[in-house]
Amino acid sequence: MAGEPRAKVIQLHANSGRGASQRRAASQRADAASRHPSLLTDPGSHASAEQIAAVVREIDQRRGAVAGPGADDATPNELAQRIAAVAEFVRKRMTGDYSVDEFGFDPHLNDAIFLPLLRVLFNSWFRVEVSGIENLPESGAALVVANHAGVLPFDGLMTQVAVRDKHPAHRDLRLLAADLVFDMPGVGQAARKAGHTMACTDDAHRLLAAGELTAVFPEGYKGLGKHFADRYKLQRFGRGGFVSAALRTKAPIVPCSIVGSEEIFPMIADVKLLARLLGLPYFPVTPLFPLAGPLGLVPLPSKWYIQFGEPIDTADYDESAADDPMVTFDLTDQVRETIQQTLYQLLANRRNTFFG
């Protein structure tokens, strides 16, 4: 029939677009195989793993050369996946298809917004190296106790990313934060959604009793606001309330030592009058703040190390130990001494403050 050749031509045109990439791939395979004659002269023989790997490498190299630099940055398929992920996030937020716990923690928002932003600092700015992550339990409660420094609490946020990204179970670390954080408009709500709660014994006990991995920074403002001359010298650890919470819930205590946070805002003075007027625990003066204005709020790119020590077991203590001042003091002192000694070791092994 007269229409049959025309139909074939139309079909050939329709198939030509789909078959272009297949023909190019076939041509690349044939050309690569021609360079390895043993794969062609004896089709019935079994090619060695080295020969197959050589062919695959050559094909990949040719594809990369044709595609040019930067071709893998955002393929159409990857772009479609990103658009689909954004659409799914918006759908869940609009329909309420996500959960929030009793403390206000919103894992959906934390994974999609907060953690990706913090990872930029973690991976590219501070270049954090993590060790001892295996000392954190795969499941169940544990209390992470860490040193605190740096004017602003970046150390807590970086520790949160370290646990989420480096732990085999990718657990969420629930931070106990100062009251001031939750009194600040906007900041308090964001902190709640990121999994933080108030640094009090009751909230610590509730989190640990629920099997959560919880972190506390017992130096508090004394650690954050200390002068640069006192860097890496641990301040007093309070009255041991965190130890009581761990004893009551039989949760192990994991000492955590952080090096690098002291250098992000080297504090050379504290203007106490301004601090009192603004209702702040301290008003820092650094080499760049307040003279450099907003630029002074950008942390310096120091090299960070976070090390989780061996857990201190609390399961063998009886129920009355949590109310015994001597037991809580001894455990508090043990944790503090462990962190201090580990800090000295990390500092001794650090080659350069900003380049590691």
Tokens of 30: 């044939």
Tokens of 164: 């989420």
If one compares 135 and 86, the residue with the highest pLDDT of the two is 135
At residue 47 the predicted structure's pLDDT band, cuts being 50, 70 and 90, is very low
* Ramachandran region, residue 223 (left: φ > 0; alpha: ψ -120 to 50; beta: rest): alpha
CB count within 10 Å of CB 89 equals: 16
CB 171 within 8 A of CB 136: yes
Instruction: Give the integer Cα–Cα distance in Å for 126 and 120.
Output: 9
Task: Strand 213-216: give its sheet, edge to edge.
Answer: 129-131, 305-308, 253-259, 142-146, 213-216, 173-177, 197-198
Instruction: Give the integer Cα–Cα distance in Å for 354 and 128.
Output: 11
Residue 165: what residue type?
Answer: D
Q: 241-249 vs 325-349: helix axis angle to the nearest 10?
A: 110
Q: State what percent of residues in the chain have pLDDT above 70.
A: 79
If one compares 53 and 354, the residue with the highest pLDDT of the two is 354
At residue 24 the predicted structure's pLDDT band, cuts being 50, 70 and 90, is low
Provide Rg for the chain, Cα atoms. 29
DSSP 304-339: -EEEE---B--TTS-GGGGG-HHHHHHHHHHHHHHH
At residue 146 the predicted structure's pLDDT band, cuts being 50, 70 and 90, is very high
If one compares 235 and 40, the residue with the highest pLDDT of the two is 235
Q: What is the pLDDT of residue 301?
A: 97
- All domains in the chain, ordered by first residue: 113-264+299-349 (3.40.1130.10)
Q: What is the pLDDT of residue 167?
A: 98
Q: What is the pLDDT of residue 85?
A: 86
Residue 247 has pLDDT above 70, yes or no: yes
Least confident of 30-34, 259-263, 329-333: 30-34
What's the whole-number mean pLDDT along residues 274-294? 95
Q: What is the pLDDT of residue 58?
A: 56
